A and B are shown apart, each in its own frame.
Chain A
Amino acid sequence: MKLSKIVIAAAVVAAGASSIATSAFAQAKEQFFPLLSYRTGPYAPNGVPWANGKQDYIKMINARDGGVNGVKLTFEECETGYATDRGVECYERLKGKPGVALFDPQATGITFALTEKAPVDKIPLMTLGYGLSVAQDGQAFKWNFPFMGSYWTGADILIQHIGKQAGGLDKLKGKKIALVYHDSPFGKEPIPVLQERAKMHGFELQMLPVTAPGVEQKATWLQVRQSRPDYVLLWGWGVMNSTALKEAQATGYPRDKMYGVWWAGAEPDVRDVGDGAKGYHALALNGYGTQSKVIQDILKNVHDKGQGTGPKEEVGSVLYTRGVIIQMLAVESVRRAQERFGKGKVMTGEQVRWGMENLALDQKKLDALGFKDLMRPLSTSCADHMGSTWARVHTWDGKKWDFSSDWYQADEQILKPMVKAGADKYLADKKMTRRDAADCQS
């Protein structure tokens, strides 16, 4: 090894690094959306459509409306591979860019790490349908926004639905419900709510953890075969879901007794299993399909011009649409913030946070935005950072998902005290206090 070669290699790398450093400056009136994503690794099949939907919505708003009140939207993607340390690196890299609006970490583990960092940097976190369940309590978690639902609301709705199927929640007495979960914070979050419900209705809860990423489930399904639970709740993500369905098929466990969370209810989870997954139910956090106005706008303004991020067939799928909804909520938070802090200006993270806390998207507004049938109205406040807890159940018929239930709302009477207690414990651990009324106005 010649020393000169090393020197040259080092010089090339150093030159490249410095050119990156300089290109970070020189920005105009642009609102910047850092997009953390994972397009590689065991969670990629689900991570890709999600990330594509977010990008396409930004491109569509720029193409159709020219941005938000004249402020152009920009973005940069950063690959995390679902790993916490890479996610933290991405966050540190992108948080310093001018005009950063908010972060959507896309992973529960990264959310936990960033929850400690966001208040210091004054950048809000949006965790739609995942993350810390107790963060619904906005008086304790000023910078976290689990819009539209958390694992707790999801677990609660699943039990409500199963109870209804059984002919009333009281009929669950003596039944056995197994929770097949990803052995990580993501999979463990729903357990307290399920335990609470089990105590209330007298069903037995069986915990069956699956080691991440979830490709090895033989032992788990052997246990299912032995204990024959009446229902199986599937709390998986990425490759774990299709594996679980295949194992259920191999075990002979009836798929129509299986209920997935909304992260286990999209096309990539069942497509490979096809008919084998027929009858499998999962929560649907959002609507989907290509009929809605916003999806048509994306097709017209982005994909027809050859600027789509992913393949055209993917547009309108479950996770793609979720990505679109996430980005819409981010953009609307900026728009709401502009209403107070000045239209046509680039909002800071703090201002966007106010926008997220004061969102009021009623049906009329959603229809105007083109999100009719994709989601239910959402309105946030200082006390409630979730805004809505609506979800329904859909069923795979072997080829496509179909809605099979009405909308449900999580039971406030059960969740509210749990959220409050959880938030109080968090605050006590951290020696912090609740936000007062004056802080809620800011």
Chain B
Amino acid sequence: MLYRENGQFKTSYRADQQIFPIAQDRIAVALLLAVAFLVVPMLASDYIFRAILIPFVIMALAALGVNILVGYCGQISLGSGAFMAVGAYGAYNFFVRFPGMPLIPALILGGLCATFFGILFGLPSLRVKGLYLAVATLAAQFFSDWMFLRIKWFTNNSDSGSVSVNNLQVFGFPIESATSKYLFCLALLVVVALLAKNLVRGAIGREWMAIRDMDVAAAVIGIRPMYAKLSAFAVSSFIVGMAGALWAFVHLGAWEPAAFSVEISFRLLFMVIIGGLGSIAGGFFGAAFIVVLPIVLNQFLPAFMGLFGIEVSTAGVSHAELMIFGALIVWFLIVEPHGLAKLWSTAKQKLRLWPFPH
């Protein structure tokens, strides 16, 4: 009833090509943004910000980047952790080596380092695809692990290989408090998400999807595979690199190469698969699932078992957390192999036909 689009006539191409063609969607997104920017900062506690919202927002950004590569262009990558690391260490080097370097240019330069690195390790995609490419991109991961552990120049000659940053500020505003960190990351996420959405709607996004669906056919209709694949690698690793820089600068503050290990590559791939391949919203759903759910389970289980008078040990909780989490992934993928974003769009379809969905 509430979700009806009859009466909404599109009288121009412009109106028909909007990101959210249905008025209710526009209102919902505007409300969501208002809540995220205005209501959440008033309500959330320091813990919610620092432990849940900030990691969620940053990982959603990274998942968005990975989704462009994996979901839209079909190039399976296991090197996302490496792109994050290159972004983080790149931004770090610009930040400490150029006195007075502001945060946002440092982040963008870090992203550009990741772009370069991404194109370099995207070259194999011109020859191999699918699982073979996944293994080839794994090389990026191992290479970055090696590089940041061994080449002291990247860590500013730190003895232990651990680096840290402070005095973050944007246009004179210090990024120290939890609220400011959250708002900064969220603003960046919104801007990048909007740009990404427009990219995938545009000509280049069509090319990526054509390559994903069938690269030979795409080449036949005049799409240059090299340009399409490498541009997907470039855009994706730029976004992932910025997310890595945010993860290091804003979330951790001090980090070592282990913070961007192969495990984070896997987590990012899970995020886009569970969230939904080839959908901007999927990155958000996937990040929420992978980042937030373990933490919620971890805190929810002892309280839940406490209702029945059962005390669970710390080890028990963390084992149970892994088991439940694993079971949920399997269950979700069986129930909806196209990810949470597909569930969401199914729900929307049903609402349109409500009260008689089929």
Contacts and interface: CB of A to CB of B under 8 A. Distances in A.
A191 B159 contact: yes
Given A37-B314, A40-B315, A79-B315, A96 B45 contact: yes
A185 interface: yes
B295 interface: yes
Contact of A79 (B255, B296, B314): B314
B256 A185 contact: yes
A115 B164 contact: yes
Contact of A85 (B96, B159, B160, B252): B252
B343 interface: yes
Interface stretch (A17-25, A271-279, A298-306): A17-25
A6 B313 CA distance: 29
Contacts of B159: 188-189, 191-192, 422
Q: Tell me what chain A mostly uses at the interface: helix, strand, loop, or mixed.
A: helix
B161 interface: yes
Interface string A72-102: 0000011101001100110011001000000
Contacts of B204: none
A78 B343 contact: no
A92 B46 contact: yes
Contacts of B350: 3
A120 interface: yes
A: contact size bracket: 35 or more
B111 interface: no
Nearest to B322: A40
Contacts of A19: 303
Nearest to A82: B258
Contacts of A96: 45-47
Interface string B235-273: 000000000000000011111101100000000000000
Contact of B318 (A40, A132, A192): A40
Nearest to A78: B314
A40 B319 contact: yes
A113 B313 CA distance: 26
A113 B255 contact: yes
B51 A84 contact: no
Interface string B143-168: 00000010000001001111010110
A23 B51 contact: no
A430 interface: yes
B253 A113 contact: yes
Nearest to A51: B314
Contacts of B46: 92, 96
Given A113-B254, A117-B253, A81 B318 contact: yes
A184 interface: yes
Contact of A1 (B295, B319, B335): B335
Interface string B101-144: 00000000000000000000000000000000000000000000
Interface in B263-318: 295-296, 298-300, 303-304, 313-315, 317-318
B318 A112 contact: no
A89 B255 contact: no
Contact of A188 (B160, B251, B303): B160
Interface string A1-34: 1010010000001001101100100000000000
B25 interface: no
Given A92-B47, A189-B160, A192-B159, A13 B252 contact: no
Contacts of A109: 162, 256, 258-259
A439 interface: no
Contacts of A37: 314
A128 to B, nearest CB: 18
Query: B50, B160, B253, B254 — which one has the most chain A CB atoms within 10 A of its CB?
Result: B160
14 contacts: A3-B347, A3-B350, A16-B303, A17-B296, A19-B303, A39-B313, A40-B318, A48-B315, A88-B51, A109-B256, A112-B255, A117-B253, A184-B161, A184-B256
The 9 A-B residue pairs whose C-beta atoms are closest, nearest first, are: A39-B315, A116-B253, A185-B160, A16-B300, A92-B51, A79-B318, A92-B50, A112-B254, A77-B314
Given A48-B315, A79-B318, A430-B164, 20 more contacts: A1-B343, A3-B347, A3-B350, A77-B314, A85-B252, A93-B51, A93-B299, A109-B256, A109-B259, A112-B254, A112-B255, A113-B255, A116-B164, A116-B166, A117-B253, A120-B176, A185-B161, A185-B256, A189-B160, A430-B167
Interface of B: 45-47, 50-51, 55, 96, 149, 156, 159-162, 164, 166-167, 176, 251-256, 258-259, 295-296, 298-300, 303-304, 313-315, 317-319, 322, 335-336, 343, 346-347, 350
